[in-house]
Amino acid sequence: MGKTLLGISASPRKNGNSELFIKDILKRMGEGWELRMVRLPELDIRPCKACYHCLFDQMRCPQEDDFLATLTLLAEADAYVVAAPVYLLSANGSLKGFLDRGLQFYGFVDRLWAKPGVGVAIAGIDGMEGSGKRDVESFVKLSMGDLRGSAVVYGALPGEVLLSEANGEIAERLARALLDPAMRLKPEGPVCPLCGGDTFRFLPEGRAKCMLCSGSGHWKDENGSLEFQIDPGDHPLFLDRGSVDRHLEWLRGMKGRFLERRQELKAVVKPYLGMGTLLEGQNKMSKK
Ligand SMILES: Cc1cc2nc3c(=O)[nH]c(=O)nc-3n(C[C@H](O)[C@H](O)[C@H](O)COP(=O)(O)O)c2cc1C
């Protein structure tokens, strides 16, 4: 039986670079793979309402939109490619919109954990990818996949991404990485020893924080190349299966912590209620 590759495109352009690049990866994966594609901006994916229903009982969101069907496609897939165009120095917002609903991943952990995935950020201007690469990596990691590689590819006009030989080589390497864990791509520069991320925030006193796993620690200069010592901290989200389960338990505990502190919180909030003018839907201004 054939295998399924899920292509998750975060581009509003039909047949734009994101989905063409996904298809190029598929083409290079050889026989036996069927492509299913979702275009996130076309789907009805509503904002998370922070009700936390998805962490309890049936572990499902009460909102009836396209999120669950899309997540089910992801759970059924054998591998996935996430491709997002860079908009204003980060991945298109449809990617984050989907990810914001991601507490529901916990209800699917058995079918999501360690699924092979790769991420591609498509930038129209060489060097202007901003956080795009980290954004697609974050999507694969937080959806509990085995991030086999990620890349920034350049191409502005629809289809342009297919014209460059360098992009073809990247597609080839990502295809191989999806097929074989031994072929996973490793960033060329220094990486976080915990999660393999290569985006960091530098802090005072030689400290640094990995922007993919949020672990923090120190960096040192080893003969001209940076080395990071990073500690996972108290909330590792995806480093191993046990950390996923522990974080879920901690999140569930939030309900009890809220109930315990409810009166204290109510009192502190009270003076702020009714302050300012809230802009409501359909451009109506109303005093609250
Ligand atoms: C609103 C908007 C903002 C953009 N911002 C950036 C940017 O910050 N950096 C960049 O390299 N390209 C930027 N681009 C170019 C797109 O990333 C590029 O055209 C890409 O190929 C689009 O991929 P798609 O065909 O899959 O939609 C922007 C495009 C649009 C429409």
Most informative mutation of 86, 88, 94, 125 for ligand 1 (most atoms within 8 A of CB)? 86
The residue contributing the CA closest to ligand 1 atom 27 is 11
85 lines ligand 1 (CB under 6 A): yes
Which residue is closest in CA terms to ligand 1's atom 12?
124
Q: What is the pLDDT of residue 283?
A: 58
Which residue stretches of the chain have pLDDT < 70? 283-288
pTM recorded for the entire structure: 0.95
- pLDDT value at residue 144: 97
Distance 65 CA to ligand 1 centre (A): 27
Q: How high is the pLDDT of residue 187?
A: 87
Nearest residue (by CA) to ligand 1, atom 6, is: 87
- Give the pLDDT confidence score for residue 284 in this predicted structure: 56
The pLDDT value recorded for residue 288 is: 46
Residue minimizing CA distance to atom 30 of ligand 1? 87
Q: Is the CB of 13 under 6 A from ligand 1?
A: yes
Cβ of 94 less than 6 Å from ligand 1: no
| pLDDT value of position 92 | 98
| CATH number for the domain running over 3-184 | 3.40.50.360
Taking the domains of the chain in order of start, what are their residue ranges?
Answer: 3-184, 186-278
What is the structure's pLDDT at 285? Answer: 53
| pLDDT tens, position by position, 226-257 | 999 999 998 888 999 999 999 999 999 999 99
Q: Please report the DSSP string for the chain in residue order.
A: --EEEEEEE--SSTT-HHHHHHHHHHHHT-TTEEEEEEEGGGS--PPP----GGGSTT---S--SSHHHHHHHHHH-SEEEEEEEEETTEE-HHHHHHHTTGGGGGGGHHHHTT-EEEEEEEESSTT--TTHHHHHHHHHHHTT-EEEEEEEEE--STTGGGT-HHHHHHHHHHHHHHH-GGG----SS---TTT----EEEETTTEEEETTT--EEEEEEETTEEEEEEE--S--SSSSHHHHHHHHHHHHHHHHHHHHHHHHHHHHHGGGTT-SEEEEGGGEEEE-
88 lines ligand 1 (CB under 6 A): yes
